[in-house]
Amino acid sequence: MGEASRKARIFLALIVSGALLIVAVFVLAVHFALTYQRPSFGGDLSSSIGGFVSEALYLLGKAVFLSLGILAAAQLLRYGVELARGGRE
């Protein structure tokens, strides 16, 4: 019975941590969306292009960060569910 309870604790921890990570990523995404302020591009063309590229890289970094969080949460949930089902596919 020790092995079964240990397995139950592990799959429960995986499922709970995956679900919490999904909620955390959602909260971060909403926070990023609500607090985003568009930069004002002014001046000459080269500084405007530089500012645009900088802002695009910044937003891409945020998107990659949130995507990796969702990917990690999905893997945690996947392994938790597989463990709960007993490894059946």
pTM of the model: 0.77
What is the domain partition of the chain in residue ranges?
Answer: 2-36+44-85
CA separation for the pair 68, 56 (Å, rounded): 18
Condensed to tens digits (0 to 9), the pLDDT of residues 21-53 reads: 999 999 999 999 999 888 887 788 888 888 899
Question: Using H for helix, E for strand and C for coil, what is the string for the chain?
Answer: CHHHHHHHHHHHHHHHHHHHHHHHHHHHHHHHHHHCCCCCCCCCHHHHHHHHHHHHHHHHHHHHHHHHHHHHHHHHHHHHHHHHHCCCC
**Mean pLDDT, range 47-64, rounded to an integer:** 92
